[in-house]
Amino acid sequence: MTLRGREVLKNPRLNKGTAFTQHERDELGLNGVLPPVISTMEQQVERALANMRRQSTDIDKYIFLSSLQKRNERLYFRLLIEHTQELMPLVYTPTVGQACEEFAAIFRETAGFYITPNDRGNIESVLANWPEQDVRLIVVTDGERILGLGDLGANGMGIPIGKLALYCACAGVDPQQCMPIMLDVGTENQGFLCDPFYLGLQQPRLRGEEYDAFIEEFIQAVKSRFPNALLQFEDFATPNAVKLLERYRDELLCFNDDIQGTAAVAVAGLIASTCVTKKALSDQKFLFFGAGSASTGIGALLVKALQREGLSEQEARDRLFYINRKGLVTQHHADSLGSHLLPFAKDMADMSFDETLREVRPDVLIGASGTPGVFTRDVIEFMGSIHEAPVIFALSNPTSKAECTAQDAYGWTDGRAVFASGSPFGVVHINGEIKVPGQGNNAYIFPGLGLGALHGGAARITDEMLITSAETLATCVTDTEIAQGCLYPPLQTIREVSVKIAVAVAEKAQELGDVKAPLPADFEQGLRAALYDPNY
Ligand code: NAD
């Protein structure tokens, strides 16, 4: 049935607002329903941008953009593509964090898909309620560890929605093929449990065997209903994140962005840092402050990267040191370490972070602890005293949680530090030079990785594909950017970066032979032609 009149305007996929041509207005019964002037998409982009900027707070801008997405999908994505640098922090971290915290209060219209333990036994038929048949990309969370904000329960829906928006804008995935899913298994957030406006299940989280069985049914239902889809796990609490990845990574096309996407983006930054330090990664020692899913994910991939440079697995592990709340992670505490951390436990005396720093004398210091300010002046000056170009990554998000600021890293090393962060920092002026700190944003990796895995017909996401994505990202940084201290390319180039990563990942999957079909000869051309490019 062809929609007409206001019904057309209510369909975000069809709606062009004031850009409907006279011919379309005649055909669709839109005369009189729209103001007479016919706008171009460029004019609409300018108008939407000006309106967005007029909103006084970031959360208001987020609400404005969400409404635009639900009103005119093509215009929303055009805006996001053309103004990625400005809009990404609104559509994703940090503003999406606030949007999740206030999700129930700002709720206007549903988006995404909710599955709860009440659906057990019927999950596959519930999935059939999603209006699209050809789903290729699912981002799923259970809301237990939303960014650095903890358990936000069903309010975490903002995360899959935001990540999928980035897939469409940064890697040209068709929004029609995307499905954000919230597995609402309850919450331990006491505020939400007694908030009358909370929109999720007001009951304690499902745990243990019941949780595992619920997830298992969900995974089997996805495989059956959407057999061509890639599943991205997002913001699960670390024990579940690690367990689900181990359990399912060989069973279906899936990955965990907090573990593997973070790992690839960090390893890309480390590869790029060697252009400054002039030292092979395999000649360096790495000290991680924080031993959670982010830093052990980085460690696991880094070990593979070091093996590619010729080290044995054990030699590679020997170069990585972890600090948790008890200090250096050693074998003395083996009983209390998770399976992801155990391989990195050292046969050394227990010691504090400061003692480890002085004992190990690392080339690279990586913070992923969520504890701000732990890279003190003393720590950074020590790194500067033992290396000409000390590598310091402060990856904790949001900005307020960073282990040090860009100003600290450059200021306390006379501008010699090679710095990257999880959240964006502005440029730093030091000794007459301008330093442009790079942001190790996962959005550099996951859209291209997912696109390449999907189009390349990969059966699973392997470590080799992750390393390939990291190496490709590192090659996208120019000498000029490196000279300014930036280890990542400008966000405005992210669509091209994603395509390069996608092609490299698809070719790697092909080389490994773990694919459903061979790549066509003109793969890259076909991929580029198939990218979602919102226009009228
Ligand atoms: P997590 O809770 O799994 O791990 C945190 C780790 O830090 C734990 O091992 C904990 O023991 C340790 N820790 C915390 N405070 C400490 C202290 N004072 N002393 C010693 N150890 C301490 O969290 P996660 O998922 O690994 O994320 C950690 C941080 O990394 C978050 O802030 C997150 O935003 C950030 N992150 C950044 C990126 C990125 O930059 N691309 C990606 C993912 C996560």
Look at ligand 1, atom 4, and give the residue with the nearest C-alpha: 292
H-helix or E-strand containing 309? none
Distance CA 8, CA 14 (A): 6
The residue to mutate among 397, 399, 446, having the most atoms of ligand 1 within 8 angstroms of its beta carbon, is: 397
Per-residue pLDDT of the chain (536 residues; tens, 9 = 90+): 689 999 999 999 999 999 999 999 999 999 999 999 999 999 999 999 999 999 999 999 999 999 999 999 999 999 999 999 999 999 998 899 899 999 888 888 888 999 999 999 999 999 999 999 999 999 999 999 998 789 999 999 999 999 999 999 999 999 999 999 999 999 999 999 999 999 999 999 999 999 999 999 999 999 999 999 999 999 999 999 999 999 999 999 999 999 999 999 999 999 999 999 999 999 999 999 999 989 999 999 999 999 999 999 999 999 999 999 999 999 998 998 988 899 999 999 999 999 999 999 999 999 999 999 999 999 999 999 999 999 999 999 878 889 999 999 999 999 999 999 998 899 999 999 999 999 999 999 999 999 999 999 999 999 999 999 999 999 999 999 999 999 999 999 999 999 999 999 999 999 999 898 899 999 999 999 999 999 99
Pick the CATH number of 6-84 from 3.30.450.40, 1.20.1370.30, 1.10.1040.10, 3.40.50.720: 1.20.1370.30
Burial class for 318, CB neighbours closer than 10 Å (0-12, 13-18, 19+): middle
Query: How crowded is residue 313: how many other Cβ atoms within 10 Å of its Cβ?
Result: 12
Question: Taking a C-beta distance cutoff of 8 angstroms, is the pair 114, 185 a contact?
Answer: no
CA of 297 to the centre of ligand 1 (A): 11
Report the CATH fold assignment for 259-327+360-536.
Rossmann fold (3.40.50)
Q: Is the CB of 325 under 6 A from ligand 1?
A: yes
Q: Is the CB of 336 under 6 A from ligand 1?
A: no
* Ligand 1 atom, smallest distance to 439 CA: 40
Q: Is the CB of 148 under 6 A from ligand 1?
A: yes
Look at ligand 1, atom 44, and give the residue with the nearest C-alpha: 294
Look at ligand 1, atom 3, and give the residue with the nearest C-alpha: 292
Look at ligand 1, atom 34, and give the residue with the nearest C-alpha: 397
Distance CA 496, CA 501 (A): 9
Indicate if the alpha-carbon torsion angle 378, 379, 380, 383 is positive or negative: positive
Q: Please tell me if the domain spanning 6-84 has the same topology as the one spanning 95-252.
A: no
CA of 148 to the centre of ligand 1 (A): 8
Rounded to two decimals, what is the model's pTM? 0.94
Neighbouring C-alpha atoms within 13 Å toward the C-beta of 35: 6
Domain residue limits, the chain: 6-84, 95-252, 259-327+360-536
Q: What does residue 87 show for φ and ψ, rounded to 5 degrees?
A: -90, -25
Superfamily of domain 95-252: Malic enzyme, N-terminal domain (3.40.50.10380)
